[in-house]
Amino acid sequence: MKAVIQRVREARVDIDGATVGQIGQGLLVLLCAERGDTDAVADRVLAKLLKLRIFSDDAGKMNLSVQDVGGGLLLVSQFTLAADLSGGNRPSFTQAASPDEGRRLYDRFVAQARAVHPVVATGVFAADMQVHLVNDGPITIPLQMN
């Protein structure tokens, strides 16, 4: 499973001009399920995400997690993170999970996140989304777990 985590001051997802998910301070997470990913992998990604210390403490050090600061999570499915460019200029997405399995893992990830974190917003799986964000820092961190 791959994720790109962005610390944001605010973020939202629009579809056809309507906002479908929105947070203030928190983490925008672009999430990609890959072939072979399991529920256990998704659980590890979520645990890491919730404990990732990338928010500043009173001394200005990145020492606090999204849970510590009471920030939101905006979870957006992003199969293009599985892109392979080794064969030329047109990306191959063969490493991405099948659409059915990708949706299942994404939906499960969202449900697990909502069970343990108070503010969770989402995009819409497989939709044409416009993602708006104010990256704070900027802090952008890639994460991959198998």
Compute φ and ψ for 41, nearest 5 degrees: -65, -45
Q: Full-prediction pTM beyond 0.75? A: yes
- C-alpha–C-alpha distance, residues 105 and 98, integer Å: 10
Identify the active-site residue in 38, 80, 94, 144: 80
Helix axes 39-51, 99-116, angle to 10 degrees: 40
As given in the structure block, the two tokens for residue 76 are 């957006």
73, containing H or E segment: strand 72-77
80 is catalytic: yes
pLDDT in tens, 44-92: 999 999 999 999 999 999 999 999 999 999 999 999 999 999 999 999 9
Q: Are 71 and 55 in contact (CB under 8 A)?
A: yes
Mean of per-residue pLDDT scores for the chain: 97
Q: Which residues contact 96 (CB under 8 A, 6 or more apart)?
A: 32, 33, 34, 35, 79, 82, 102
pLDDT at 47: 98
pLDDT in tens, 116-134: 999 999 999 999 999 999 9
Give the residue extent of every domain in the chain. Answer: 2-144
Q: What CATH number does the domain located at 2-144 have?
A: 3.50.80.10
Identify the active-site residue in 6, 55, 79, 122: 79
pLDDT at 92: 96
Identify the active-site residue in 6, 25, 78, 122: 78
pLDDT at 9: 98
